[in-house]
Amino acid sequence: MKYTQLTSADFAWVKMSEKQILSFPVSANKSIQNKLNKIKSLKKEERTFENTVKAYEIANDEESSVFHQITLLGMVSDKKNIRDAARKAEVEFSKYAVDIAYDEDIYKALKEYHSFNYKKEKKNLDDQDIKLLSDIMLGFKRLGFDLPEKSREKLKKIDKACSELGNEYDARISENTDHILCTMDELDGVPEMIINSFEKVGDKYKVTLQYPEYGPFMRYAKNRKKREELYKLFNNTGGTKNVAILKQLAKLRAQRATLLGYDNHAAFKLEVRMAKNEANVYKMKYDLVNSLKTKVAKDYQVIKSEANKLGYKELRTHDTAFITNIIRERDYALDEQKVREYFELNNVMSFMFGYFGELFGFEILESSTKLWHKDAKLFELKDKKSKQIISYMAVDLHPREGKYGHACMMPMIEGQQLGKDSYSSPFAVLICNFPKSTKAVPSLLNIGEVETLFHEFGHGLHALLTEAKYTTHAGTNVVWDFVEMPSQIMEQWVVEEDVLKKMTKHYKTGNTMPSEMIKQIISTNNLFQSIFYTRQSVQGLLDMDIYTGKAADPVKHFHKLMSEYLIPESKGVLFVSRFSHIIGGYDAGYYSYLWAERLSHDAFSIFKRDGLNNKKVGAKYRKEILAAGSSRDEKKSIEAFLGRKISNKAFLSRLK
């Protein structure tokens, strides 16, 4: 298979103008409509898989690529007018996308082929062809094409409204510039290295809601009032407006589910996922929180005892990171700042590229191509067997004003077979927000940030090593409760002794991390994990309760769940104002992080058994998981790699 090759000319879009961005929705819609009209104009007897099904599959390829470019610029451009234009274009194109999705004539064209011509051609189609058609027809059913016209019009209006509300919710978070100002005395406890990264405003220091500033401040700042102030700003990022948007979205999604004949939005979403129904999700969640209750109580007793020593009458959520860090450093002699000194970003990336390149059969080469910002770099993935460049990956790893504040992987060009012997090289972008280098020190990561980098790289490899025939099935286009599995498995290498010995290097001396420190990292890996997994479960329950109609007031419901399973949340905290996962993508799907994590531990147990860097196991994993995508049922893929049925044993054993 010959892969397409990108040149610097293919990245000219990084300089896209505001005018070009704003003109995109109309021109893209016109182009897509022209291609769809060709499909619709065919006579029934003329229809083939090639001119109807495949033509529909690829109809918006070019436009989708440009849409991804614009979306990315909205997340990473350092120019506010470009970000604003990109978000406006996203909203406008989303409206057109709804119209395209609800095109009844294109549905009729595909139904014609399915009803009259499919049987004649079926013997000449492969499994991926058949699955593509099946997925498309199910998609039309879920869009309501079996419903009366009036109901379909209602669905269209709901989808457009949901898209607009989702964009508004996200914009209120990404454009939020809230911060606190601290005197030097109020920064007591915060390491000098971190303080030096804060912007100075007069004689005070500015601490923003960006993760590289927020996280360390919450762990180290001794000033409890300042921690509470920052915590509330962080968790109230979207304010009451975003709470109202969430409520409105929940109502609209419930209406949509009812129109389609489902009990609720969760039932609609879960139909096409590994979990299949809400009963299976609730069982997983309640089994987990109930099994962890005793451990959570013990862990909180340790934390509360420490809080009492500090003179706190009661433990609050803005205290936990600070106190657990005290315990970690004192009782386990693990100083995060000392740990950071062994995880210089460039060195970690170099190791990660080399280690997994050897394991999965590729090498990564840096390109000189200029991208959207000086912090962004482009890399090429070269397959060791074919000696071809098979995919491209860009990384943008440091925070800046207006940039997307979380970590994510964004597919830009998705893999697909272009002809009998040709394949489209995937292109993906990793966005993170790690500390910037200063004149004094380079970018140094804590262990959690290393895990984040490995996690997003796992998503990247899923997108970049795909061999699926169709974009619909390529890379991360898998069922939602499987999509995190290839990223979560990567985190597990981070806390293996052999890997830490090879990866770590002190940024000054070049020495490997001492064995004692490595053992401390491993021993603290599961420290207070009962609280973490219970918090994940609480957020998953909140999500499910919202989308099954059990949480009319999401704010009150979250506080109720926190009090029941963890500790009471601070008054006035509007966590759901920044719970962006359940606005788009993870709505009725937040459970999938833990669902997929169980799968990732099961898969990692094979590497643990046969060798962490066993190339045969790596090749099998690449073939059965990364290359397959959703070209077949995901359960079949994971069991093909495991060589047996799925088991929860590995996941549960680490929580004891």
- If we measure between CA atoms, which residue out of 508, 514, 461 comes closest to residue 483? 461
CA of residue 156 relative to chain centroid, distance: 27
* pLDDT < 70 regions, the chain: 656
| Dihedral pair phi/psi, residue 343, rounded to 5° | -120, 70
Q: For the chain, how many helices (H) and strands (E)?
A: 27, 11
- pLDDT at residue number 149: 87
CA geometry: angle at 565 spanning 561 and 566, to 5°? 100
pTM, 2 dp: 0.84
Whether 591 and 481 have beta carbons less than 8 Å apart is answered as yes
Strand partners, 427: 392, 413
Return the structure tokens found at 226.
Answer: 């300042």
**Residue 216, pLDDT score:** 93
DSSP state of 343: B
Half-sphere exposure of 647 (CA within 13 A, CB side): 13
Instruction: Please provide residue 428's backbone torsions phi and psi, each rounded to the nearest 5 degrees.
Output: -135, 155
Q: How many CA atoms lie within 13 A of 356 on its CB side?
A: 26
Write out 568-604 in H/E/C secondary structure.
CCCCCCCHHHCCHHHCCCCCCCCCHHHHHHHHHHHHH
pLDDT of residue 395: 98
Give the number of other Cβ atoms within 10 Å of residue 538's Cβ.
Answer: 20
Q: For position 656, what pLDDT does the model report?
A: 67
Q: pLDDT tens digits, residue range 615-648? A: 999 999 999 999 999 999 999 999 999 999 999 8
Start-end of H helices in 276-385? 278-309, 320-331, 336-340, 345-360
The tokens for 105 are 């004539």
d(CA 397, CA 453): 9
Residue 379: in which H helix or E strand, if any?
strand 377-383
d(CA 394, CA 377): 5
Q: For residues 341 and 353, is the Cβ–Cβ distance under 8 A?
A: no
**Which residue is it, tokens 């590995």?**
650
Residue 409, judged by CB atoms within 10 A of its CB (0-12, 13-18, 19+), counts as: buried
Q: Residue 99: what pLDDT?
A: 84
Question: Given the structure tokens 């994940």, which residue do they identify?
Answer: 536
* Amino acid 192: pLDDT: 92
Distance of CA 505 to the CA centre of its chain: 29
| Residue length of the chain | 656
Of 371, 397, 368, the residue nearest 380 (C-alpha): 368
- DSSP letter assigned to residue 237: T
Distance, C-alpha 325 to centroid of its chain: 26
Token look-up 């995190």 returns 484
